[in-house]
Amino acid sequence: MLKYEKKSAEREVNKMRNIYMIERYQFVHNDLHLSLNEKLNTIQIQPAGQVLTDSDHLAFIYLVEEAGEYSYLYLPDDLWPALVRVLKSQQNPYLMLNEQKIELVNFTEELEMLLFNIEGNENYGKAFVEAVETAFAEILKEQ
């Protein structure tokens, strides 16, 4: 079982959006389980099915709905090797919240489409493009 733990931020509020940092992950029977800080296990969210980027902070963002607003699940670059494995398996990851397993619907499709849009596209910034092309080289060479 592969495990990862990030020792960083809890919850930040930025421009009226809640930002939740994925702090831990593990693979359980080839499913990627993502976790937030334990103090945040009481939040109520629904997957929105869309992946965005934060090129300034080398992160992908999965949109979730929370109390009628969008909030962000941040997937920083140190998590990207796990995302490569998810893309290879074509299985969506799960957010683990208070014994609840929430599938991040459309994640693999959205991320794969975004990766091919980012490849060679310096509108995302040179550092981000290079980081994505390096981290996801296995996926990008398949097409």
Domain boundaries, the chain: 3-141
Nearest of 48, 28, 50 to residue 96 by alpha carbon = 28
The pTM of this model reads 0.86
Nearest of 10, 6, 32 to residue 20 by alpha carbon = 10
Residue 69 vs residue 16, higher pLDDT = 69
Residue 17 vs residue 60, higher pLDDT = 60
User: Which run of H or of E encompasses 134?
Assistant: helix 126-135
pLDDT tier at 8, thresholds 50, 70, 90: very low
- Predicted confidence (pLDDT) per residue in 66-100, tens digit: 989 999 999 999 999 999 999 999 999 999 998 88
Bridge partners of 2?
none
For 53-58, the CB contacts below 8 A with 24+ separation are 53/114, 53/118, 53/124, 53/128, 55/124, 55/125, 55/127, 55/128, 56/125, 56/128, 58/127, 58/128, 58/131
**Confidence check: pLDDT of 13 > 70:** no
**Confidence check: pLDDT of 40 > 80:** no
**Confidence check: pLDDT of 135 > 90:** yes
**Confidence check: pLDDT of 51 > 50:** yes
The pLDDT, as a whole number, for residue 72 is 95
Q: Assess contact for 27 and 33: CB atoms under 8 A.
A: yes
